[in-house]
Every structure is written in C-alpha cells, then in structure tokens.
Structure 1
C-alpha cells in the first residue's frame, strides 16, 4: 500500500459577508486551510479545516511527521499528527489536528481503490444529503463597501427576503436562523414572519448561548408551534438541562456536546435531544460515523454543524452524512455564503431541492482548482490575518459592543 510522500498545508482567505451572531459580526475575510497529501505513486488526497492559529501552526508542524506513513493506517496517521503536541492541548484540539489529515487520507485511499469515501465509511444509506438554509441577520455590506448580493437583513422583512432568494437558488426545504443578535422579541417576530411566509418549512433557531435560562424558556414557549428545535439557547450543561426540563421543544447542541467525553454527561443530565456533529472537531469522518452509533444507542437525533467552508469540507460532509444511518435532520451549511470562492472544480457538488447528491467519483469525488487556491493563499498572506475575531470587528462600528454571554 502506498505511503505519503509529501504534505502541503495551505492557509487561505476568501470574502465573507457581514453576518451577525452573538459574538459580533463576520470579518470581510474568512480563513480556511487546505491539506494536500501526495502519495508515492502520485495519488493526491484533499482535506480542509479552519485557517486560524494555533490550529494552523499545529498542522504545519504535524505535516512532516506524516511523510512515510501508510495511507491505509489510520492509527499511525493519528499518532503522527498529534505526536508533537504539548500534553496540555485538549482532546478536542487534538482531534482538530487529526481531522483534515484523516479526510485527505480517505480521499487518497478512495482514489487508489476506485471507490467513493462513503464506501470506505461502511457504504451509503442515502444518495442525497439534505441541507438547511443557514440564515443570518446581516448588514447590507461591510462598512465602507458596496452592498453585497444578499443585501441587508436586519429585521423580519429583510430576513424573509434573503430566505426567499436562498430557497429559490438552492431549494432548501428547511431553514435555520443564527440568533442571539437582537432582543428576543425581535428574533421571535422574525421566526414568525418566516413561518407565515413559508408555511410547512421546518425552522430552527440558534442563539449560540446568548439567552439566560428564563429567557430561553420564554422563547421556547413563544415558538413552540413554529420551530422543530432550539439549538444551544443558553450556556452550559446545567442551563441546557434546566431549559429542556421546562419545555416540550427538543434541544440541539454543538456547544455542550463536542466530543465523546461530553456526550455521556449530556445524556445523564437530560439536556439534549439532538447532537450536531462536526467532522472538523470530532476528529474526522470515521469518528463522526461512530458518533451516529452513539446517538442511536442513547436515543438522540443527529444533524451536522457548519462554519464558513469551501467545497472540500462540503464533499466530506456529504460522504459521511450519506454513510450515517442515524442522521435524521437536515445538515447545516454556510456554503451559499462562500460558494463564489470555491476551490473545487464545478459540477461535482450541486444543490438540487436543498440536497447534494453524493459524488460517484473515487475518493471525495472533487478536483482542486489550483489557480483559485493560489489566489486565496495570496489573499491570506496579504491580509496579515491569523485569527477570526468577530467581536473586535463589531467594535470597529460600535466601540462599546459587549459579547459577554448570556446577553438577554
């Protein structure tokens, strides 16, 4: 079996709209990292993850250690990836280092064997993976810049208009709102406006822990007939459990359950009904597949979390979702906000009626656009950026902005 000959770690920066959240607002550039493995026979494997420090530095340090490792030896790949990490690096941060290398090795292995990654994960149980349209309150454009193609969504009417256009373009059958931005009454009104304009469309709301327990309970009561679930309404496991005990609404999380170590306490507390997996911090695709099995054992639902990403992450999400029987809610995706900067050749990934067909090609089924990667890498170098700081960016407009949670 082939061994890894070279490993490239390429940080990139690409345009991101001014999307509002409980910590502030997205900066004009989002950061991602591309991992490219080349095997001794020339086969290439691709992975993608966050472009922020300190993760980027850890990936760059790990890359030389993977040279010479067999592509079909996941234990050796994981060991090499984390070998240089300090003992005080948390298990979650360790898994973040492993994840893009694991995806890249699965891509390369699939190409070698002529099979899709979903086959390597146990075989697909679905040919199409459904996604939810990810809505944000947003400014019309970044300060000093022209309005972007989506325009402003700072009230119910603006949000409904963005949702309508997003559904027209991508066909999403469900919608999720990133909340925790405005007073809860304003966000309740926005959810009710969405429900009125799009009857029958499943809705979700995620304030990223911006609400106090009593506020979360009030919102849950106000939206009980409107939303399919409430995601991370309040900080911490105890707070989530208190909200869950006081409402009939299912609670979802990607903040209190982020690892195998945090799953059992959440189950014991009765705090969550649905877990949002994320291959980027669960340690890759095989680990995400195992999470599905754990959710089934505990009677929990399963969806998938998203952050600003490009096509390699989307392809990886599609393959693992296709191979995970327990996935019973449409996945999140930021892809519509960042699609114009995609680094994969067009055609392999397309949203039709809100779903992406599993690519049939070997590996992830996508090919890299090297010219775009080079352009985004130059943008990264020229930007001088190393971290995402939504709060600092919000303070350029409102110097008194306070991100302390819970806020409402």
Structure 2
C-alpha cells in the first residue's frame, strides 16, 4: 500500500448548542472535518475520539474501510451510542479528506449522484407541540414542502382520551395549513407504549401523515411490527439504532422508512450499508439529522448517491438550537441554502462545505454542557422525553 500522507493530529470540538466536531489533519496540511454529536454526551464521545486518535495518528488516512473495521471491531467490547458516534465523526472526516485530496464530492466516490436535489423537511411545534399552524406557516415561507412535529409532550403510559384527541387535533391543524400537496410527519418520540401507538395510528389515518416515527422506544424494536400491522401509515424508526444488525429486526418487523443518524450510526461507511439493507426490504432512507452542518452535509452526500433515499431532516431554525445555528459554523452558506424546499447538488470537494475553523475554536472555548430535560408523570415517576 503506497502511503500518500500521514495523519498528524485528531482534534474534537464541543460547540453550542450541543454538537461535537472532529478535525483530522495530515502531514501535508490537508484537513477533513466530521461530526460526532451525541446530544447530552459530547464530553464522553470526545474522550472516545481521543482514544481512537492514538490508533490513527501516524497512519495513512486513505484506507477508510480498514480504519472503520479496526475502530469498531478490534477491541473486545464494542458498539453502543458513544463508540459508534466517535467512529461516525472520524469516518466523516476521513471521507472529507479523501474527497478533498481527489478534488471531488463524496457522492462521486460512492458511485455518483442519482438525483440533483434533495427534498428536505423542517421541525415545528417544539418538544410539547402547540401553535403548530403558525410554525408551519413560517416553514412554508422558507419554501419547505414538508414538516415534522412531535405528536405530544409528556404522554401517560396508557394514553387518555384527551391526550389522543389532542394529538389528532394538532395533526389536523397541521394538515389544514399544509393542504393536500405538502406533507406532515408525526414523531411519537418513543413516548408511547405499543398499545397506545396501536390505538392512535388508525385515528391519524384520515389525515394521511407522511410517516409515523419511533412509535416505541428502541429497546422495544422487537414489538414494532405490532404497530406496523395496525395501520396503513408508513412506520419510520432508527435514530437510536447504530448498526446494520440493529436495523435488521426493525426491517423484518415491517418498518418502511429507516432513519439512521450519520453522527451515531457509524458515519458514511455504515449508513450506506444500512441503506442497501433497507433496499432489500423495499424500505426507504430518511436520515435523522437535528444536528450541525457537518452531519447535514454528510447526510446529503449519502442522499445524492442512494437510490432509495426519501427525504432529509435538517435543523435550521429548530427549537433545540439555542446559542448557535447550523450555518453559524460555515464560511459559505450557499451550499446549504434551500431551493424550492430542496438542497441543491453539492459540488464542492469532500463533504462539500467549508467550516469556519476560527468560529469553531472560539465556540469550543465557550462550551457549556447540554442536557435534555427530565420529565415526570403526575405520580412522580420518570416520563419518556
């Protein structure tokens, strides 16, 4: 194997609002960026990136697949959100490096684009959705043709009549604003039991949601088929699944749309394999991405080269982004600007965006740890967030 360059430094930068960026530099001055954001665990993932750097420094960045295999499988204990997120950020940065060295976008290295634009959707309503109609109107003004909303806030274990009616009412309000030519997806966020999700789904069918997302928590993936069998609405899941092996039972159970996160599920290398696995089940890819610009750019590179890609989540203006916005860390905002509700083809080398390194380093120096809220039921027991 001919060594063209060597990795000299691997750095990671936790930045507002809740992201972790990875920077890999080679001895000839080339730099690649990736995103290893694991919301609420940035400092833990940063330690994992640092441990992986001991292996990477001094090696050729070129054999990405071999690095992925070593980082994910060479140690006796493997897998899980933290290690998978660390590998994801490193993997993205290595693909970014390779594309920059060759002067081509990553999607060219994955076989070339199969489309020239990527449809996107935006979030509305926040954690506990209210006033969704106004939020949707604002998203429509940006040109988006699809939105996603949380079905509910804190949800009682068995779902009261009032809670279920409230979900239907909010989705109906969204449908009224969107009309028949735009789409609304409904995220159950793992807040529902299987039984309650089975009760709710048929109630939503007349409103034609684009999909129902994460009807049960990921540890209950083996039961998701009971929800899929109860409704004609497509079921989406996967933001908290981290490998092909974890997606397999979801696909076998009837999930129609897989949602791996490029910053959690092994980066570009593993998500392209998850997409291929999904294709064998006639399922579509819609990557999870309420994250930063690097995660979004990595998602788009996959999307342009993946035949069964459906739509792309993005977090520009999302309610989580307190203290910084997606485009605050890029030099040129144009590559990630919407055109008629879509992202245009990324043509720049690597991930196709240029990171403002000075802004990243300054933001990292001001880092304050982010944690999601802890919710409780009326009886004091913990509630799913």
The reply to whether TM is greater than 0.5 is yes
Structure 1 residue 401, shift from structure 2 partner: 6.5
Query: 2:150, 2:119 → 1: CA distance?
Result: 19
Report the equivalent of 1:10: 13
1:125-155 deviations in Å (ceiling 9; x for gaps): 11211111122335xxxxxxxxxxxxxx853
Residues 56-95 of structure 1 mapped to structure 2, 5 A cutoff: 56-78=46-68, 81-82=71-72, 87-90=76-79, 93-95=82-84
Q: Does 1:253 align with 2:248?
A: no
Which of 316, 338, 343 matches 2:329? Answer: 343
Contact kept in structure 1, 2:6 and 2:58, CA below 8 Å? yes
Report the CA distance shift for 1:371/1:195 in structure 2 as closer, same or farther (over 3 A): same
Which of 201, 219, 223 matches 1:239? Answer: 223
Structure 1: which 4+ aligned runs deviate by more than 4 Å?
Answer: 82-85, 398-402
Residues 45-64 of structure 1 mapped to structure 2, 5 A cutoff: 45-50=32-37, 52-64=42-54
Query: 1:331, 1:275 → 2: CA distance?
Result: 12
1:356-381 deviations in Å (ceiling 9; x for gaps): 1122111112112123212311221x
- Tell me the matched-pair count: 361
Report the equivalent of 2:158: none
Report the equivalent of 2:179: 199
1:38-73 deviations in Å (ceiling 9; x for gaps): 112111111112162421210122223211221211
Residues 25-44 of structure 1 mapped to structure 2, 5 A cutoff: 30-44=17-31
Residues 2-401 of structure 1 mapped to structure 2, 5 A cutoff: 2-12=5-15, 14=16, 30-50=17-37, 52-78=42-68, 81-82=71-72, 87-90=76-79, 93-137=82-126, 154-155=129-130, 158-169=131-142, 171-181=143-153, 183-200=163-180, 201-226=182-207, 227-235=209-217, 236-254=220-238, 257-268=241-252, 270-307=253-290, 309-327=291-309, 329-337=310-318, 338=321, 339=325, 342-345=328-331, 346-380=333-367, 383=368, 385=369, 388-391=371-374
Report the CA distance shift for 1:353/1:278 in structure 2 as closer, same or farther (over 3 A): same
Query: 2:296, 2:314 → 1: CA distance?
Result: 8
Contact kept in structure 2, 1:208 and 1:231, CA below 8 Å? yes
Structure 1 residue 399, shift from structure 2 partner: 10
Structure 1 residue 341, shift from structure 2 partner: 5.9
Query: 1:154, 1:246 → 2: CA distance?
Result: 25
Q: Which runs of 5+ in 2 are unaligned?
A: 155-162
SS of alignment partner, residue 168 of structure 2: helix
1:244-277 deviations in Å (ceiling 9; x for gaps): 2222222111157542112332333x34121112
Query: 2:279, 2:11 → 1: CA distance?
Result: 37
Report the equivalent of 2:159: none
Structure 1 residue 91, shift from structure 2 partner: 5.1
Query: 1:257, 1:111 → 2: CA distance?
Result: 30
1:336-369 deviations in Å (ceiling 9; x for gaps): 3243662111222211222111221111121121
Report the CA distance shift for 1:265/1:370 in structure 2 as closer, same or farther (over 3 A): closer
Report the CA distance shift for 1:372/1:400 in structure 2 as closer, same or farther (over 3 A): farther
Report the CA distance shift for 1:107/1:162 in structure 2 as closer, same or farther (over 3 A): same
SS of alignment partner, residue 190 of structure 1: helix
TM-score by length of 1: 0.81
